[in-house]
């Protein structure tokens, strides 16, 4: 809820000041800072509340940093390659996540004697992952801090309440429908991410190591999907790509419901990853297309709002249906419903190719 409220406000503020980069730097550095603090999460001490606060603040700062990162998409692309740039960038994000996960697993978690003489009894081999990821995030953020340039502007007096009201009232009907559609299918995606591992473990008796391997495979396929659909985004437009991805996810998730075969589940899981990657990267390029160049931060702030404001609905309906029917497959149906609702809203929506 904090993120849902703060993202549009900070986006509006940065657009007025025309200083997206400084907001990106601050949010990114704070993300790294909170990641470093995870080293102090000693399980032998009674600091659970402190740990939860650190994780929450770190996630909020990370999500806010994505608002300003996404708002720079039009700055590093043009109307002929915005989909391609978005897809490649999203794919690189998946690659970075996979590589860092593999490094952490083989360098810290898996070895009998971890590097740096880390004490397993104090869970130092797990706690070191926070500082490592903080350093990883900082190193790969530096190029954007250095190479992205912004013009110096004079700070003017800001009536924030007036600008918030003006921003929300200025949202066009097409953009609003897209945001509602994204809100619904993002609820489905987020629930799939959370519920997928539990579903696999329960119905297919997958071990923890198998779930980790499945997660890595899913991320690889999502990275590939981001690139594949990026090649068609600029040519055919985002609406067509989003529709294809949603219909494919509906179909594949329906097959998973009907299947009890573990091998088929793996194959379908790879398919899910492909279309998730395409859906995520194309949704971002679509939002950038719908927004004017000077309104990118505020619109991506609202874009962030649409992805978080109803985030509780997915897990709620999964829990409700699973409990009501005493069947996890019944809970899985809610994910498909979110995808269907998102598709129905965007199905006949006319999206502009590019807004200057």
From the list 338, 339, 322, 335, the residue with the least C-alpha distance to 192 is 335
355 located within any domain: no
From the list 148, 46, 124, 137, the residue with the least C-alpha distance to 97 is 137
- The CATH number given to whatever domain includes residue 56 is 1.20.1250.20
From the list 87, 92, 350, 342, the residue with the least C-alpha distance to 232 is 87
What per-residue confidence (pLDDT) applies to 153?
67
What per-residue confidence (pLDDT) applies to 14?
84
What per-residue confidence (pLDDT) applies to 155?
63
352 located within any domain: no
What per-residue confidence (pLDDT) applies to 69?
92
What per-residue string of b and e applies to 159-197 under the rule 16 or more CB within 10 Å gives b? eeeebeeebeeeeeeebebbbebbbbbbbbbbbbeebbb
78 located within any domain: yes
What per-residue confidence (pLDDT) applies to 308?
81
| SS3 annotation, 91-137 | HHHHHHHHHHHHHHHHHHHCCCCCHHHCCHHHCHHHHCHHHHHHHHH
How many other CB atoms are there within 10 angstroms of residue 203's CB atom?
A: 16
105 located within any domain: yes
Number of domains in the chain: 1
What per-residue confidence (pLDDT) applies to 352?
65
What per-residue confidence (pLDDT) applies to 331?
87
351 located within any domain: no
Taking 50 as the pLDDT cut, the residues of the chain under it are none
Structural domain range at position 245: 2-346
356 located within any domain: no
How many other CB atoms are there within 10 angstroms of residue 275's CB atom?
A: 24
């Amino acid at each position: 809820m904090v993120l849902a409220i703060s993202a549009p406000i900070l986006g509006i503020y940065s657009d007025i000041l025309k200083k997206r980069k400084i907001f990106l730097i601050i949010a990114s550095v704070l993300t790294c800072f909170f990641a470093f603090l995870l080293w102090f999460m000693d399980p032998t001490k009674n600091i659970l509340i402190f740990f939860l606060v650190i994780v929450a603040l770190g996630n909020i700062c990370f999500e806010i940093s994505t608002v300003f990162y996404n708002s720079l998409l039009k700055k590093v692309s043009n109307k002929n390659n915005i989909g391609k740039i978005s897809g490649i960038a999203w794919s690189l994000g998946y690659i970075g996540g996979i590589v860092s996960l593999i490094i952490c697993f083989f360098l810290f978690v898996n070895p009998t004697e971890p590097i740096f003489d880390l004490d397993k009894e104090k869970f130092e081999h797990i706690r070191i992952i926070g500082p490592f990821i903080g350093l990883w995030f900082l190193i790969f953020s530096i190029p954007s801090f250095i190479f992205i340039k912004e013009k110096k502007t004079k700070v003017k007096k800001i009536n924030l309440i007036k600008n918030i009201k003006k921003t929300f009232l200025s949202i066009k009907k097409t953009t609003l429908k897209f945001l509602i559609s994204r809100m619904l299918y993002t609820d489905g995606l987020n629930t799939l991410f959370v519920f997928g591992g539990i579903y696999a473990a329960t119905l297919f008796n997958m071990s923890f190591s198998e779930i980790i391997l499945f997660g890595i495979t899913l991320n690889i396929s999502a990275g590939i999907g981001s690139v594949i659909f990026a090649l068609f985004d600029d040519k055919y437009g985002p609406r067509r790509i989003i529709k294809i991805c949603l219909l494919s996810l509906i179909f594949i998730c329906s097959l998973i419901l009907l299947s009890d075969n573990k091998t088929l589940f793996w194959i379908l899981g790879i398919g899910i990853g492909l279309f998730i990657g395409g859906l995520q990267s194309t949704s971002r390029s679509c939002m950038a297309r719908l927004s004017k160049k000077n309104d990118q931060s505020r619109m991506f702030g609202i874009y962030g709002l649409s992805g978080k404001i109803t985030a509780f609905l997915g897990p709620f309906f999964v829990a409700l249906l699973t409990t009501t029917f005493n069947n996890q497959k019944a809970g899985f149906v809610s994910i498909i419903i979110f995808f269907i609702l998102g598709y129905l809203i965007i199905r006949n929506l006319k999206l502009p190719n590019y807004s200057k």
